[in-house]
Chains A and B, each alone.
Chain A
C-alpha cells in the first residue's frame, strides 16, 4: 500500500513538472526584453531606408570635426561599436 502511495505521488509530481515545463516553453518570450527593445528603438529612431543621413557631426580619430553627410561618392558601411 505504502509503495502504491509513493508511486502515485511520484507519478503526480512528474506530471506536474512535465506540465510546468510544457507551459514554460509554450510562453512567448517577453516582448520587453532588452534586445527586443533595442531593435524596436532602432527601427523607430534611425533614418529610414532611402533617407539621407542626419546632418550631425562627430570627430575623426585625430579630433577634427567630421560631418556625417560627407559620406558620399562611394558605398559606405557604417558600423557602431566600442571597446566593450
Chain B
C-alpha cells in the first residue's frame, strides 16, 4: 500500500473527468507486518478496511473481498494489481503490480493530460500508526521452518461466542506437507484491531492437539504432534502483545491427512474497555497449503 498517496494525486486530478478510484481490500499479503493478522470473518475484514482508511488517511472508495476471496481469485490472484475499466465496464488496461506513474500516463491517453498535476505534498493526508496497546519485544520469537507456508485452518465458530482475539497461524514447509514429517510452526497472534493484550498475571496460554473429543471431558491427545500439549511463556511484564509461538514435530501418514484439531486456552484483556476474559477456542487445521494465507516474511514488530 505504499503507492496510495501517489494514486490519490491522480484521483484528485481526474475526479473532474468523472474517473473513480476503487480500492479492493483483499486477504493480507504479509500477515504479521505491523502486527496485523488475517481476519476470520467478514466483519473483521471490514474492520481492516476501516483500519486502512484510518492509517492511510485515504479518501478512496473501498470495496472488500468476500471470505472466499472471489475477487482476488477471479481477477488474477495478485497482491497489488490494477485495472482500468472503461465506461462500458470493459477492461482497457491491466497490470500485475500497481504503478501510479503508468496509471497517470494511461489516463492522459484515455482522457486528457492534466496541465498541473497534484503532488503528494499537496494532499496533506492524515496518516496514523498501527495500534499498540501493550509492551512488545518481551517474548523471544520462534524461527519458522525454511520455506514455511500457511496451512488452511478453520476457527470453530460458536454462535454468540466471543471473537478469536488471539488468532492462530500454522505453517509447515512444502517437504513436510509432501513427506508427512517435519516441524510445524504454531503461532497465536493478538489481533491489534481488538486492542487486546495478553494477561501475564494469570495462567499462560495452553494449547492441546486433540485426537478425539467426547463432549467437553474425554479428550485424547493427537500423537501425530509432539509435544501435543504446550504451555506458553509467562513474561515478567504484566501485559504484552507478542505472539505466543511454538515449533512442534509433525508426523502423519501421507495417505491419511485427517485434519488436526487444536484447543487453546488464554486470557485476553482490553484496557480501553476495562475487561479481561478467559477464552477457550478451537481450530481445525487442514494438512494442505492455504494459498490465500500470504507470506509472513518480514514479521515487523509493532
Task: Give residues in A with beta carbon < 8 Å to B.
Answer: 38-39, 41-54, 56-63, 66, 68-69, 71-84
**What total of A-B pairs shows CB separation below 8 Å?**
204
Q: Is the CB of B49 within 8 A of A49?
A: no
Q: Is the CB of A46 within 8 A of B50?
A: no
Q: How many B residues face the partner with a CB closer than 8 A?
A: 74
Known contacts: A38-B79, A42-B77, A80-B82. The answer to whether A74 contacts B18 by CB under 8 A is yes
Q: Which residue of the partner chain, among B42, B82, B93, contacts A59 with CB atoms under 8 Å?
A: B42
Q: Does B55 make an interface contact (CB < 8 A)?
A: yes
Task: Give residues in B with beta carbon < 8 Å to A.
Answer: 1, 4, 7, 10-11, 14, 17-34, 36, 42-43, 46, 48-53, 55, 61-66, 70-94, 96-98, 103, 107, 110-111, 294
Q: Which residue of the partner chain, among B46, B92, B110, contacts A49 with CB atoms under 8 Å?
A: B92
Known contacts: A77-B82, A80-B81. The answer to whether A52 contacts B89 by CB under 8 A is yes
Residues of B within 8 A of A68 (CB): 71
Q: Is the CB of A42 within 8 A of B81?
A: yes
Q: Is the CB of A59 within 8 A of B64?
A: yes
Residues of A within 8 A of B107 (CB): 75, 77
Given contacts A76-B21, A77-B107, 11 further A-B contacts (CB under 8 A): A46-B81, A46-B94, A48-B91, A53-B85, A56-B71, A60-B64, A76-B84, A77-B22, A80-B24, A80-B79, A82-B29
Residues of B within 8 A of A47 (CB): 75, 83, 91, 94
Q: Is the CB of B82 within 8 A of A63?
A: no
Q: Is the CB of A58 within 8 A of B93?
A: no
Q: Is the CB of A57 within 8 A of B21?
A: no
Q: Which residue of the partner chain, among A41, A61, A69, A83, contacts B34 with CB atoms under 8 Å?
A: A83
Q: Which residue of the partner chain, among A57, A63, A76, contacts B22 with CB atoms under 8 Å?
A: A76
- Which single residue of chain B is at the shortest CB-CB distance from A79? B82
Bound CA–CA A62/B50 (angstroms): 9
Residues of A within 8 A of B75 (CB): 45-47, 53-54, 78, 80
Q: Is the CB of A79 within 8 A of B98?
A: yes
Bound CA–CA A58/B25 (angstroms): 10
Q: Which residue of the partner chain, among A51, A66, A73, A84, contacts B63 with CB atoms under 8 Å?
A: A66
Residues of A within 8 A of B50 (CB): 61
Q: Which residue of the partner chain, among B1, B66, B85, B90, contacts A82 with CB atoms under 8 Å?
A: B1
Q: Is the CB of A75 within 8 A of B19?
A: yes
A68 CB to nearest chain B CB (Å): 7
Bound CA–CA A71/B96 (angstroms): 20
Bound CA–CA A74/B82 (angstroms): 16
Q: Is the CB of B28 within 8 A of A82?
A: yes
Q: Is the CB of B64 within 8 A of A50?
A: no
Q: Is the CB of A78 within 8 A of B52?
A: no
Residues of B within 8 A of A50 (CB): 90-92
Bound CA–CA A70/B29 (angstroms): 27
- Which single residue of chain A is at the shortest CB-CB distance from B36? A83
Q: Is the CB of B74 within 8 A of A76?
A: no
